[in-house]
């Protein structure tokens, strides 16, 4: 079987490379880690090495038993930092869903195992971080049925939305999003995924069908809004307008402000911004303010 050939190549590569004193651990990700390996699949691994052992982070293309190995080399401090950052993002999904082939550092092994689930504090932030792209696809689908009158092209954006919704559903269940997210999301929430994935992927849709699916997506965000927006609302809770650049630095998923503004939860305003140090020129910088009374009426 092809999987056995890939595993043999991985084992052979591992036995050789683990003997080097600079090597700390080896993390497997990609097709072989997911169990979906094919004849043309490569082997994706991250080699964790001692700090200062390489001049910079590298991506190396290697061969073992005529099988291609994509080798990402990462110094241990950077690897640990990646594991400890807000969970649920793309990079963390790769690291968290990967399989630690070996580790000479027991503490590193325990840290990686801890990241396989998304914590209660990280989950709403990771969910909100997906909303910016989802809302962008929703807006484009709406535009292509109202402005351009092209339901077929609008359907394409719904198809793009499905993968994002699947990742969001995994995050809601404290699971790391990954490239197999749609398959898992269909198990976790079959009705939702039937509406946003199966129908747009298999059935020609009319403008009315697309509006229905957009309503399903909108309702999905609304139902969970209090949960995913709480860290953004907390940052804006003093009622003072804050510029977009500051919010985006402080709040993961700040692009979700587009959605919160559309629902009347936050209000868009402007603040004067001086672009140059030695100039009186100012522009109106986008800012947002949260009014508690307005939120309670939503």
Contact status, residue 27 vs residue 33, Cβ threshold 8 Å: no
Q: What DSSP letter does each residue of 54-81 carry, written as one string?
A: SSS-EEEEEEETTEEEEEEEEEHHHHHH
Tokens read off for 222: 């609304």
- Work out the percent of the chain whose per-residue pLDDT is above 70: 92
Q: What DSSP letter does each residue of 139-160 carry, written as one string?
A: HHHHHHHHTS--HHHHHHHHHH
Q: 3-class SS at 98?
A: coil
Predicted local distance difference test score (pLDDT) of residue 35: 73
48 strand-pairing partners: 25, 74
Q: Band of the pLDDT at 37, cuts 50, 70, 90?
A: confident
- Work out the percent of the chain whose per-residue pLDDT is above 90: 63
Helices (H), the chain: 2-17, 31-34, 76-84, 90-97, 106-114, 122-146, 151-172, 181-188, 190-193, 199-202, 207-223, 225-228, 230-235, 244-250, 257-262, 292-296
Q: Residue 243 pLDDT more than 90? A: yes
Determine the average pLDDT of the residues in 49-75. Answer: 87
Q: 3-class SS at 45?
A: strand
Instruction: List pLDDT tens digits, range 130-172.
Output: 999 999 999 999 999 999 999 999 999 999 999 999 999 999 9
Determine the average pLDDT of the residues in 256-285. Answer: 91
Which of 139, 184, 190 minimizes the C-alpha distance to 161? 139
Q: What is the mean pLDDT of the chain?
A: 89
Residue 100's alpha-carbon distances to 24, 111, 112, in angstroms, are 11, 11, 8
The C-alpha R_g of the chain, in whole angstroms, comes to: 23
Which of 122, 130, 123, 117 minimizes the C-alpha distance to 172? 123
CATH for 230-296, options being 3.60.9.10, 3.40.50.800, 1.10.10.10, 3.80.30.20: 1.10.10.10
Residues 37 and 8: their CA atoms lie apart, in Å, by: 13
Residue 92: how many other CB atoms lie within 10 Å: 21
Instruction: List pLDDT tens digits, range 3-24.
Output: 888 999 999 999 999 999 999 9
Q: Residue 94 pLDDT more than 70? A: no
Q: Is 251 exposed, middle or buried (0-12, 13-18, 19+ CB in 10 A)?
A: buried
Determine the average pLDDT of the residues in 194-199. Answer: 98
Predicted local distance difference test score (pLDDT) of residue 293: 66
Predicted local distance difference test score (pLDDT) of residue 189: 98
Q: Residue 68 pLDDT more than 60? A: yes
DSSP 276: S
Q: Does domain 2-114 have CATH number 3.30.460.10?
A: yes
Q: 3-class SS at 267?
A: strand
Predicted local distance difference test score (pLDDT) of residue 260: 95
Contact status, residue 139 vs residue 119, Cβ threshold 8 Å: no
Instruction: List pLDDT tens digits, range 210-240.
Output: 999 999 999 999 999 999 999 999 999 999 9
Contact status, residue 5 vs residue 67, Cβ threshold 8 Å: yes
- Backbone φ and ψ for 209, nearest 5 degrees, come out as -65, -40
Predicted local distance difference test score (pLDDT) of residue 170: 94
Q: Please indicate whether residue 178 or residue 204 has the higher confidence score (pLDDT).
A: 204
Q: Please indicate whether residue 222 or residue 180 has the higher confidence score (pLDDT).
A: 222
């Amino acid at each position: 079987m092809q999987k056995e050939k890939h595993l043999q190549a991985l084992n052979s590569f591992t036995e050789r490379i683990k003997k080097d004193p600079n090597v700390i651990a080896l993390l497997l990700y990609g097709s072989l880690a997911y169990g979906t390996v094919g004849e043309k699949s490569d082997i994706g691994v991250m080699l964790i090495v001692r700090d200062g052992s390489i001049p910079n982070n590298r991506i190396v293309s290697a061969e073992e038993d005529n099988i291609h190995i994509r080798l990402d080399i990462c110094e241990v401090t950077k690897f640990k930092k990646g594991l400890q950052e807000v969970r649920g993002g793309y990079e963390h999904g790769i690291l968290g869903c990967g399989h630690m082939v070996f580790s000479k550092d027991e503490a590193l092994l325990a840290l990686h195992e801890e990241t396989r689930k998304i914590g209660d504090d990280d989950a709403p932030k990771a969910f909100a971080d997906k909303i910016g792209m989802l809302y962008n696809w929703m807006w484009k689908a709406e535009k292509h049925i109202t402005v351009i009158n092209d339901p077929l092209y609008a359907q394409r954006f719904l198809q793009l939305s499905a993968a994002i919704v699947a990742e969001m559903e995994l995050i809601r269940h404290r699971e790391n999003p990954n490239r197999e997210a749609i398959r898992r999301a269909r198990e976790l929430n079959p009705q939702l995924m039937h509406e946003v994935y199966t129908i747009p992927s298999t059935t020609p849709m009319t403008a009315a069908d697309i509006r229905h699916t957009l309503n399903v997506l909108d309702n999905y965000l609304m139902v969970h809004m209090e949960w995913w927006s709480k860290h953004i609302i907390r940052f804006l809770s003093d009622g003072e307008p804050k510029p977009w650049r500051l919010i985006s630095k402080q709040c993961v998923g700040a692009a979700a402000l587009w959605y919160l503004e559309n629902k009347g939860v936050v209000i868009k305003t402007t603040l004067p911004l001086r672009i140059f140090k030695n100039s009186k020129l100012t522009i109106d910088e986008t800012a947002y303010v949260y009014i508690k009374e307005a939120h309670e009426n939503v």
